[in-house]
Amino acid sequence: MSSILIAITLLATLAIIFGAILGFAAVRFKVEGNPIVDQIDDLLPQTQCGQCSYPGCKPYAEAIAAGESINKCPPGGESTIIALADLLGVEPEPLDAEHGAEKDVPMVAIIREDECIGCTKCIQACPIDAIMGAAKQMHTVIADECTGCDLCVEPCPVDCIDMVPVETTLQNWHWDKPENLIATSEQPHEENLEQGVH
Amino acid sequence: MQTITLHSFDGGIHPQENKHQSTQTAIAQLPLPTQLIIPISQHIGAPADVTVSVGDSVLKGQQIAKPKGFISAAIHAPTSGKVVAIEKRELPHSSGLEGICIILDTDGKDQWLEEINNGSLAINEYLEADNELLINRIRDCGITGMGGAGFPTAVKMAVQNRTIDTLIINGAECEPYITSDDMLMRERALETLRGVQILLKLTSAKSCLIGIEDNKPEAIQAMEDALHKIHREHHIAVVKIPTKYPSGGEKQLIKILTGKEVPSAGIPADIGIVCQNVGTCEAVYHAVAEGKPLISRITTITGESIEQPQNVEVLIGTPVKDLLGYAGFKQEKSLFQKLLGSKSKTESKPRIIMGGPMMGFTLSSDELPILKSSNCILAPSQKELPANDLASACIRCGLCTEACPAELLPQQLYWFSKAGELDKAEQHNIADCIECGACSYVCPSQIPLVQYYRHTKGAIKDERAAQQKSDRSKIRFEARQARLDREAAEKEAKRQARAAAAEKAQAAKKAAAAEALSKQTTESAEGVDENTSTDAPAETKNPEPVDLEKLQKQLDAAQAGLKKSMDKVAELKASASEDGVENAPIENLDVFEKAVATRRDKVKLLALQIAEAKKLAPPVKKEVSREDIEKKLRAQQDRLAKTKERVDLAKEQGLDSLPALQKGLDKQMQKLKELEEELAQFDKAGA
């Protein structure tokens, strides 16, 4: 009988001690804000394009943390959806076509500078301040900072902004993935069977 | 020969060497081509800046593009002639991209620049010369690594803050077919060694090891002989290393000669070693001792489709077809292949490879030029180097792991690359892959492993760049958001400050007016109209009741007008700021502002007049005493009596004002009653 009492007392004591430790830790190491929002925000492409219907990536991250679906980000596309699904432990869904389609190539905005009238409307539209210029002066896009979000195209009263694919240079070129060739789908050349170099 | 304990690296392969074909004849000089195509980006780093323009005549050795930035290299005219175009041309690069090239029509005179010809640029006592002078000369002469990567030599030799104790000279030339370094060492050993001396002086290394594979006995002998001639260099040693591909890889050669390993993501200088190719040494010697820039190189032209495989000294920018023509190209024997990226799948061209069979790449056309780093042109026959279009499934044999010289797990990397699992590939150190092709060579399924790794490396680089860009975008977005919030807050604060100031000014004016009035009225005070309440100024026995009413009405109208004008101005301003043109002139704004000013003045004037007319109203929350109430009561009684008199008079005379007076009388009676009640309440409260 006494052994049961000892066990109960011991467990109760342990429970009190651990409870105290946990309680202390909860106060001492309290995390301000919602850390999951930052984690989600890190996975989003930060184009700040608003295609998800939220005014930027952070608001969408907050919405996702609050239960919004994860398939509303066309610039991030499938890879972002998979990464988000991974992080949140939910099933990946196909991209919601309502918010736009994923682009194959990264784009950048270019202002046809001769035609620019200096109205500053695109400057106000750019979510990341990547357009330089002043009232009645020519504007230009800082191509390195442009996320290709399209938001500047619509406000331009003279339609002098084009979205063009980012140019491939020797610096950013890399090899293509080899085509997935299956040997059995075609008859190999006879020469292939010989070991020329060996 | 010094005895040096040699080490070995893991893996490696022994492909058929095929080197003897091209070492039968001495290095030949290619006849002057009619046109040279000189790309301005032949090295690692920023493309050079073109310093000539179309139509310029240039002399041999004249600088035609100067280095831009720290990591860059100058480009020189390989012969005398005329610049006919500066335009985008396809580059000899695996990407097949275009880049700026200087097109030079040769004039056949091959006339050197005067300074180089008379030797005034030569540094005779180079071993006593200042290091800075030597490095500047190497930079001016546009020397880049001749082994393949093309890293600017001056940048490599200017390594600061690191002590270099060993200089390693790479004469291994491990890749099959290529013999340009071999022939260079055989024929130009002395120049090469003098170049080594210069580099040794620049690095102040204690020892220098020249590693040469043991399949080049002639080259080893030539270098030994040259070393004897120089005598005084006891710390330079020619080391014979066993033949194994890829012992000529920088990291592998360092491992063989010193046993040290270059740390992952590090450079040899991290462990006190600098590595240079033998070709680079020779170019350095010519640059320093003769002032000659890098305008030509030794290139091996070989393969079964070539009649006379050999080594040729070619000018940089020489089209490959000139070289093929010189050595005798048998197109019928050469390999026809489906071109990478060609529109038609059936289109095929002879396969010409720049570089060796292991690490080289197929050229899309024979119009492409020789670069500073092009050590070999290989034109194989179909039988010699079959194109493996078709890969089979991986059978997990593990041969690639055994062959890998970088101690990686090629099979794992292959799965990760195929599935696009970049993070896992990175964890398995794909960045340390030297792309030597040993794994692809041993693969029984003929999987193009290296291409997978190259793709994955590029994808990782892309992803990292995208991540960096997205981080930057985030910072910029947040900064913009903060700026907009701050601007809005500032605007609001300004608006509030303005409103507060206006209120204060108004209050101050009122107070001043009231004070002035109270001073005026103190003498005649107490008498009349003490009971004028604040909210009902009219209808009492005011001396000028009609006037006051009128004034009040005017004031109301003026205030409404003022408000309207102010609204209009605010609206104009708001719409202007919405347009973003904050400082631009707004139409009619000044007119409205003037209106506001005049209306404000009018309101002030009226307020003053009303105040004068009204006299001082008693403060609402004045401490009331019994005497006050009694006084008021008495005054009210007096007034009532007076009014009664007037009413009587009016009755007698039958005046029109009778109903009004009657009404006033009623009101006064009510007031009296109220006062009486007040008094009673006061008494009650007091009791």
pLDDT on residue B413:
95
A157 touches chain B (CB under 8 A): no
Mean pLDDT across chain A: 85
Second CATH level (architecture) for the domain A35-99: Orthogonal Bundle (1.10)
Nearest to B73 by CA among B62, B60, B63: B63
B547 and B606 in contact (C-beta within 8 Å)? no
pLDDT, mean of residues A13-20? 97
The amino acid at residue B670 is Q
Question: In a 3-state reduction of DSSP, which class is residue B194?
Answer: helix
Indicate the range of A3-12, A94-103, B68-77, B395-404 predicted with least confidence. A94-103
pLDDT on residue B123:
79
B386 and A196 in contact (C-beta within 8 Å)? yes
The residues near B385 (Cβ < 8 Å, ≥ 6 apart) are A196, A197, B303, B335, B351, B353, B357, B378
Q: What angle in degrees, to the nearest 10, is found between the helix axes of B131-140 and B278-290?
A: 100
A120: closest CA of chain B, how far (Å):
7
The residues near B155 (Cβ < 8 Å, ≥ 6 apart) are B45, B70, B71
A137 touches chain B (CB under 8 A): no
Reported as a single tens digit per residue, the pLDDT across A76-134 is: 888 889 989 999 999 888 888 888 888 878 889 999 999 999 999 999 999 999 999 99
Sort out which chain B residues have CB atoms less than 8 A from A87's CB and list them: none
Question: Does the pLDDT at position B671 exceed 60?
Answer: yes
pLDDT, mean of residues B36-45? 89
Q: Where are the domains of chain B?
A: 20-112+121-354, 393-504, 524-614, 626-686
Most confident of A2-11, A89-98, B362-371, B565-574: A2-11
Q: Which is more confidently placed, B216 or A98?
A: B216
| Joined tokens for residue B362 | 């197929």
| Joined tokens for residue B285 | 């010697």
Q: Which is more confidently placed, B171 or B542?
A: B171
pLDDT on residue A63:
92
Q: CATH topology for B20-112+121-354?
A: Rossmann fold (3.40.50)
Q: By CA distance, what is A56's nearest residue in B?
A: B477
Q: Do A173 and B479 make contact, defined as CB atoms within 8 angstroms?
A: no
pLDDT on residue B239:
92
Return the residue matching tokens 């219907």.
A53
CATH number of the B393-504 domain: 1.10.1060
| Joined tokens for residue A20 | 């105290």
ipTM of the modeled complex: 0.80
Nearest to A94 by CA among A78, A79, A83, A75: A78
pLDDT on residue B247:
92
What is the spatial distance between Cα A120 and Cα A137, in angstroms, rounded to a whole number? Answer: 9
Question: Does the pLDDT at position B117 exceed 90?
Answer: no
B247 and B256 in contact (C-beta within 8 Å)? yes
Most confident of B215-224, B374-383, B624-633: B215-224
Tell me if A35-99 shares its fold with A105-168: no
pLDDT, mean of residues A67-81? 88
Q: Where are the domains of chain A?
A: 35-99, 105-168
Question: Does the pLDDT at position B2 exceed 60?
Answer: no
Reported as a single tens digit per residue, the pLDDT across B417-472 is: 999 899 999 999 999 999 999 999 999 988 999 999 999 999 999 989 988 998 99
pLDDT, mean of residues A16-20? 97
Indicate the range of A167-176, B30-39, B472-481 predicted with least confidence. A167-176
Q: Do B386 and A178 make contact, defined as CB atoms within 8 angstroms?
A: no
Question: Does the pLDDT at position A186 exceed 60?
Answer: no
Q: Which of A144, A169, A181 sits opposite B391 (nearest CB)?
A: A181
pLDDT on residue B160:
65
For an interface test with A, the pick among B417, B470, B486 (most A C-beta atoms closer than 10 Å) comes out as B470
pLDDT on residue B531:
47
Q: Which of B386, B392, B580 sits opposite A183 (nearest CB)?
A: B392
Question: Does the pLDDT at position B264 exceed 50?
Answer: yes
pLDDT on residue B547:
65
Reported as a single tens digit per residue, the pLDDT across B588-599 is: 667 777 777 877
Q: Which is more confidently placed, B316 or B605?
A: B316
What CATH class has A105-168? Answer: alpha beta
Q: Which of B16, B459, B469 sits opposite A174 (nearest CB)?
A: B459
Q: Which is more confidently placed, B77 or B109?
A: B77
Percent of chain B past pLDDT 90, that is, above it, reads: 45
pLDDT on residue B345:
45
pLDDT on residue B30:
92
Alpha carbons within 13 A on the beta-carbon side of B360: 24
Reported as a single tens digit per residue, the pLDDT across B60-83 is: 999 999 988 888 899 999 999 999
pLDDT on residue B653:
77
Indicate the range of B272-281, B365-374, B577-586 predicted with least confidence. B577-586
A130 touches chain B (CB under 8 A): yes
Q: What predicted TM-score, i.e. pTM, was given to this entire model?
A: 0.72
Distances (CA, A) of B285 to B83, B170, B373: 29, 16, 17
A150 touches chain B (CB under 8 A): no
Q: Do B580 and A191 make contact, defined as CB atoms within 8 angstroms?
A: no
pLDDT, mean of residues A146-156? 90
Reported as a pLDDT band with limits 50, 70 and 90, residue B541 is very low
pLDDT, mean of residues B224-239? 83
Nearest to B434 by CA among B176, B181, B252, B174: B252
pLDDT on residue A173:
87
Is residue B29 exposed (0-12), middle (13-18) or buried (19+ Cβ within 10 Å)?
exposed
